[in-house]
Structure 1
Amino acid sequence: MLLKSIIRSMSLAPSFETKILRVDPSSIHFAPLAHLDGSLPTISDPKTKEALLEAARIIRETEDTVAFPTETVYGLGGSSLNDKSVLSIYRAKKRPSDNPLITHVSSIDQLNRRIYEDSSSSGDSLLKNIPHSYHALISKLWPGPLTILLAVPLSGIKTLSKLTTGDQPTFAVRIPSNPVARALIALSDTPIAAPSANASTRPSPTLASHVYHDLKGRIPLILDGGACNIGVESTVVDGLSQPPSLLRPGGFTYEQIIALGGSDWTDCKVERRETVGETEKVRTPGMKYKHYSPSAKVILLVPNTDGTSSSRRIERLKEIIEDECTSQQEVVKTIAILTSSRLNNKPLKDLLHLKSDIKIVVESLGSSGEEIQANLFATLRKVDETEKVDLIVVEGVPEVDEGLAVMNRLRKAAAGSAVPF
């Protein structure tokens, strides 16, 4: 029945004149314990306050959506408590209906009141709806890019829309650290379901202009709070299972989860499946469908440690590109090479000696894990949407620290086109 509603909703998609309202994150201030007790922020910039109040009204009083910045990527938000609002998210993104959504709250107080209908929690009982296995993590990592799985409210409580859960007995929730996101959720006093604010399968947006490119005319409002500083989605963990598991690498690394989670997380396993069965239910976004993909084909160079010389790597890169140019049905005129470590600062245009009619665009993702992670989606979008390249070759990184999240996204973007390098 829910699937039929989504399909019908997509066929009746309204058209909007999409507004972009600039907001100043530095003008928004929260008290130190606001993420616990739910106290509202102070906002010193009148225009920022006005824009946030308008966005909060849309979330609270209508069935429409708002795009807004988080510390990870821009999110497309609608009320987690309203089926029609959640349908508006699926409709705008053209997102598969069995792909669950993360619910964002501004405080644990809001989680208790608005989702669990529990207004009595305070002090030592504030965390009563959150299992002990999460307490060490959230005490250190909330607000921030950490998403946890919780049990859906008991059957007598009908707050959370089933459309956010992918028909699972659990739901995903986090408290974002970006002040614009936190203020929007707090001012609306509404838990907000918010996947990335892009067209489904496209690279996630880290600028308001990315959102506008994908969703212009499909949503009424974008809050422009500048660039997202982390650049990939939140880390999703499941502390309800034994041993616990990391379902999606993201803004916090696996190493941080192990170090900060205490004894409960010592044996945390990592979900490494790149795909799941067509009929299999998933507990978190990003596991089932094509994700993060530009229009151009992406080839991922997976780093190895075989001691290959620098000159041989350049020869190997040339072979990969020439093989791909020969095998593609359409003529390859422009190629983007995204470098990260071994290829950084090398004059690739000169070293590759490709045909003179092939244009090469070289972009560095950065050298540190934080830089590469922050630049990944924006660079993919730049070469795809601005340079309009025909082929993208990306140098991968070792799968440690931020590299685990980076390679997770790149493997999905490459859709199986990965070669040792």
Structure 2
Amino acid sequence: MRFTTKILKVDPAAIHFSDTAHIDGSLPSFTCAETEKNLLEAAGVIRDTSETVAFPTETVYGLGGSSLNDESVKNIYKAKNRPNDNPLITHVSSLSQLNRIIYSESSNDCKPLSHIPEIYHPLLAKLWPGPLTILLPIPEDLGKSTLSELTTANQPTFACRIPANPVARALIALSDTPIAAPSANASTRPSPTTAQHVYHDLNGKIPLILDGGKCSVGVESTVVDGLVSPPMLLRPGGFTYEDILRIGGILWNECLVETKVSVKDDEKVKTPGMKYRHYSPKAKVLLLIPETNLPSVSSQRIEKLKELINIEITNENAKKVAFLSSFYLDKTLINHNCIHEPLGKTGKEVQANLFALLRKVDEEDNVDLIIVEGTEASEEGLAIMNRLRKAASNNVIIF
């Protein structure tokens, strides 16, 4: 089906939740009639149809459909041209909604965390709502579960989070529907951090985009698995590995980090981002990784790096090159028809700007080659390098 895709403006600052709404499920109030009207329209699409809605979260824009409806989930995969063995994250607005709808818990005496393993409790106390996704067991009595099996890719677990962005929370709360939502981009492309990015990829493929401005975090949520021993960080994201260790306490002291660069075609994965090509512009990406992270890089190393870059440009016959710099290098590195874009000087800045600048130089500047300066894989750098290695298909120069 071909849609006339509408973009509806919503103001995150006009949406107000109580301090306990993420626990008890109380609905938001609004100080902007247009925002409320547009959110109610989008909530109706989620609740009453099998169609999808694109909406902002604090991480990236998501493409949402009902987690309870097989046809909605199929429409997500169809719009993105996404393989259906790649699981989806289910977003809920509150613990009450998780218990009532996914675990079919009708008792008012149900404790908020009764269906969540204890290992997650310290993390959720500090990090929900927020960019943290946890793996939870599907109810043992499958007859009780309302969750579409298509969200799990036939896994015995499902991924779940409560987003912090008020637009996302309001959409889920007003529809009273858990929402399955991967990033709202064409499959393999860099994730969208503005409504315009979504429109570029999905215009005509979805009915509605909620425009709530630029996403603040800029990369997807952190995904952790506390159902295995030791627990694992499956995907680095909005919260750092160091955050998980610090907040999680003794139960997370031995947390491992998933280090697979790729998986086999027939291998099952527990979370998005572990399988298939991801985050890739049309132009080739060359990733520069410093061998040692120093306050300054020696002139000898710079000259050697210039030589290697010139070889790559020649081999690619690149007429137009973009250079995205971060901590150590500057635009003088590229002696070519070069567009220079600084990613930022802190991990949070680089993280927030990464996808937007990859899209800018690829879609607006139409470059032939994108050269990106990498960073140390710690703190925010772990998520940054995870995305960049996939965007570059491990096409790297170590200097």
Q: How far apart, CA to CA, are the structure 2 residues paired with 1:306 and 1:31?
A: 44
Q: How far apart, CA to CA, are the structure 2 residues paired with 1:282 and 1:136?
A: 26
Q: How far apart, CA to CA, are the structure 1 residues paired with 2:74 and 2:132?
A: 25
> Which residue of 169, 172, 183 corresponds with 2:159?
172
> Which residue of 180, 203, 210 corresponds with 1:223?
210
1:121–1:128 Cα contact (<8 Å) kept: no
Using a 3 Å threshold, how does the CA distance of structure 1 residues 126 and 388 change in structure 2: closer, same or farther? same
Spell out the pairing of 1:26-175 with structure 2 (5 A cutoff): 26-120=13-107, 122=109, 125-153=111-139, 154-175=141-162
Q: How far apart, CA to CA, are the structure 2 residues paired with 1:167 and 1:121?
A: 31
Spell out the pairing of 1:403-418 with structure 2 (5 A cutoff): 403-418=381-396
Residue in 1 that maps onto 2:303:
315
Give the root-mean-square deviation of aligned CA atoms. Answer: 1.3
TM-score, L = length of structure 2: 0.97
Q: How far apart, CA to CA, are the structure 2 residues paired with 1:188 and 1:146?
A: 22
Spell out the pairing of 1:264-413 with structure 2 (5 A cutoff): 264-305=251-292, 309-328=297-316, 331-343=317-329, 346-348=330-332, 352=334, 354=335, 358-413=336-391
2:297–2:328 Cα contact (<8 Å) kept: no
Describe the SS at the equivalent of 1:262: helix
TM-score, L = length of structure 1: 0.92
Q: Which amino acid aligns with 1:276?
A: V
Residue in 2 that maps onto 1:252:
239
Paired residues, number? 397
Q: How far apart, CA to CA, are the structure 2 residues paired with 1:319 and 1:362?
A: 18
Describe the SS at the equivalent of 1:314: helix
Q: How far apart, CA to CA, are the structure 1 residues paired with 2:391 and 2:215?
A: 20
Residue in 2 that maps onto 1:181:
168
Cα deviation per residue 1:285-343 (whole Å; 9 max; x = unaligned)? 00011000000000111121187843223323322222112322xx3111011100111
1:109–1:121 Cα contact (<8 Å) kept: no
Off by >4 Å, runs of 4+ in structure 1? 306-309
Q: How far apart, CA to CA, are the structure 2 residues paired with 1:47 and 1:389?
A: 39
The gaps in structure 1 that reach 5 residues or longer are 1-13
Q: Which amino acid aligns with 2:59?
A: T
Q: How far apart, CA to CA, are the structure 1 residues paired with 2:268 and 2:380?
A: 27
2:138–2:145 Cα contact (<8 Å) kept: no
Q: Which amino acid aligns with 1:406?
A: I
2:131–2:222 Cα contact (<8 Å) kept: yes
2:293–2:376 Cα contact (<8 Å) kept: no
Cα deviation per residue 1:152-193 (whole Å; 9 max; x = unaligned)? 122222400011001100000000000000000000000000
Describe the SS at the equivalent of 2:63: strand
Describe the SS at the equivalent of 1:16: coil
Using a 3 Å threshold, how does the CA distance of structure 1 residues 253 and 309 change in structure 2: closer, same or farther? closer
Q: Which amino acid aligns with 2:133?
A: T
Describe the SS at the equivalent of 2:22: helix
Describe the SS at the equivalent of 2:130: coil
Q: How far apart, CA to CA, are the structure 2 residues paired with 1:176 and 1:312?
A: 47
Q: CA deviation at 1:34?
A: 0.3
Cα deviation per residue 1:382-407 (whole Å; 9 max; x = unaligned)? 10001110001100010110000000
> Which residue of 182, 197, 200 corresponds with 1:213?
200
Q: How far apart, CA to CA, are the structure 2 residues paired with 1:19 and 1:118?
A: 37
1:373–1:402 Cα contact (<8 Å) kept: yes
Residue in 2 that maps onto 1:6:
none
